[in-house]
């Protein structure tokens, strides 16, 4: 799934379920920087928000 973050540019978001857990990975297309978050499968939107926030911080640190 590709989505545009407000100030990130193009970001690919991948969701992987493992039983009651969900892993959300966000990859910045232009740089290849990746961030992820793991939590309950019922919190998809929250995990996506956390992964995107972590990605923003990782890109700002570069």
For residue 46, what are its two tokens?
């929250």
Q: Would you mind telling me the total number of residues written for the chain in this entry?
A: 62
pLDDT digits (tens, 9 = 90+) for 12-47: 999 999 999 999 999 999 999 999 999 999 999 999
pLDDT reported for residue 6: 57
- Quick check: 1 pLDDT over 80? no
Q: What is the SS3 assignment for 41?
A: coil
From the list 40, 5, 45, 34, the residue with the least C-alpha distance to 20 is 40
Cα–Cα distance, 9 to 24 (Å, whole number): 18
- Residue showing tokens 């892993």: 23
Rounded to a whole number of angstroms, the distance between the first and last alpha carbons of the chain is: 25
């Amino acid at each position: 799934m590709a989505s545009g973050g407000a100030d990130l540019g193009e970001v690919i978001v991948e969701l992987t379920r493992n039983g009651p857990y969900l892993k959300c990975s966000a990859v910045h297309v232009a740089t290849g920087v990746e961030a992820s978050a793991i939590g309950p499968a019922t919190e998809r939107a929250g995990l996506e928000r956390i992964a995107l926030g972590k990605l923003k911080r990782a890109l700002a640190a570069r």
